[in-house]
Amino acid sequence: MRLKVFYLILCTLLFSAFLFAGEDEEIAGIREIVEVKKSIVISKDPVISALLAVQYPGLGQVYCGKYWRAAGILVSEIALIGGGITLRGEQKEKFTYAVIDSAEGDTVYLEGERTIVTETTETKKNIGNAMIFTAIGIHIWQIFDAYRQANAHNRDIIKRAKYKETGFNLKLKDDGFGIAFYKNF
């Protein structure tokens, strides 16, 4: 009788192992999905962000992960400085004139240039100065912006750590298991 009970228990265990094998794989698959979505986010130092922005326009924003903002800052500063230097430069006019040597009768061609000073050149210089000063202002602003972006990044990390946007909960009980997915708004 004991041998029959032993065989019955052994058969039941083997049968149940094959019966519930698919559920274990499914639960393991869900755990893999949940663990893949975890990411490591590193906090950013605001001082390093500001120092990078001092060194190169937009680099502090790149450090904080704001790539489009950094591209806009870099392109605007290059365009303003390039345009300002171009407009600020002196406008020169080249000319050639001929001089006849009275002793030998030869013609000598001389080339020269002179600076053009008119109202339009003064206006162009003023516009060039304004463009350069605007570029300097943008550069100073982006230093403070890089500092603020690093602080905002750190606040966002803390906020995400406190309030998970999505979650997964798996409860195993004696009579079965429960799965819960949730999203915080």
How far apart (Å, rounded) are the C-alpha atoms in residues 156 and 162? 10
pLDDT greater than 80 at residue 150: yes
| CA distance readout (Å), 153 to 32, 38, 91, 92, 181 | 28, 18, 48, 51, 27
How far apart (Å, rounded) are the C-alpha atoms in residues 59 and 67? 9
- pTM of the prediction? 0.57
> What pLDDT does 168 receive?
60
pLDDT greater than 80 at residue 109: no
Say if residues 132 and 84 touch (Cβ distance below 8 Å).
yes
> What pLDDT does 52 receive?
93
Mean pLDDT calculated for residue range 104-129: 77
| Partner residues linked to 110 by β-bridges | 97
Instruction: Indicate the SS3 state at residue 166.
Output: strand
pLDDT greater than 80 at residue 105: no
Q: CB-based contacts of 121: which residues, under 8 Å, 6+ apart?
A: 90, 91
Helical (H) or strand (E) element with 146: helix 119-162
Lowest mean pLDDT among 36-45, 62-71, 81-90: 36-45
